[in-house]
Amino acid sequence: MALTKSVFYEIVLFNNYSKVKGGIPMKVKDLMSSPVFSLRQTDTLYSARELMQMQRIRHIPIVTSDNLFIGLITHRDLLSATISHLAEVDPETQREIDSGIPIQEIMRTDLQSISPEAGLEEAAKVLLNHKYGCLPVVDNQRLVGILTEADFLKLTIQLLEAIDSAD
């Protein structure tokens, strides 16, 4: 079924988040990224930096060996824990320093997660109100995905394209 202007208005006006309407995801599970790149609390700052650079990501959930969600490290956290480039520390020294710092020293634990069954409106409000860049998606304390600002930008593009094609 193509997304028509009337279907788009139905989505906007009636906020039916129980299923995917017209190909537009309505629940967190429909929009989240999964599987997720994650690390353990005993991994190092160096591991986090390398993973972020290699995968071009800004958020890494931290999990136990049983995949229970326990925290998050962000690119901003990495920057805060890094010696300034003004200190003229060579890359090898920075690597040694980063390799000695376990993630548990800097990871965030005071954040919210969201259920895969939650509506996208609820998720968007949490991101906006708390100024989060992502929401770990957790089911029975297990990490099942991640929802980011970029996911909402992709959804916005889909909606705008649908409006343009309906005109």
Any idea where the domains of the chain sit in the sequence? 5-166
What is the H or E stretch that residue 150 is in? helix 149-166
Residues 6+ apart with CB under 8 A from 91: none
Render pLDDT for 44-101 as a digit per residue (tens, 0 to 9). 999 999 999 999 999 999 999 999 999 999 999 998 887 666 667 777 888 888 889 9
Q: Indicate the Cα dihedral angle 103, 123, 22, 9, nearest 10°.
A: -150
Please give the single-letter amino acid code of residue 121.
E
Give the CA dihedral 94, 97, 101, 106, nearest 10 degrees: -50
What's the rounded Cα separation, in Å, for the pair 141 and 94? 34
- Model confidence over 16-52: pLDDT tens digits? 333 445 555 589 999 999 999 999 999 999 999 999 9
Kindly calculate the radius of gyration of the chain based on its CA atoms and give it in whole angstroms: 19
| Nearest by Cα to 103 from 63, 130, 144 | 63
> H helices of 25-135, where?
28-31, 45-55, 75-81, 91-99, 120-130
Taking Cα atoms as reference points, which of 8, 26, 65, 14 lies closest to residue 42?
A: 65
**3-class secondary-structure state, position 78:** helix
Q: How many CB atoms lie within 10 A of CB 124?
A: 15
The Cα-based distances of 112 to 2, 31, 139 in angstroms read 35, 18, 13
pTM: 0.79
Candidates 3.40.50.12280, 3.30.460.80, 3.10.580.10, 3.40.190.10; correct CATH number of 5-166? 3.10.580.10
Condensed to tens digits (0 to 9), the pLDDT of residues 98-124 reads 889 999 999 999 989 999 999 999 999
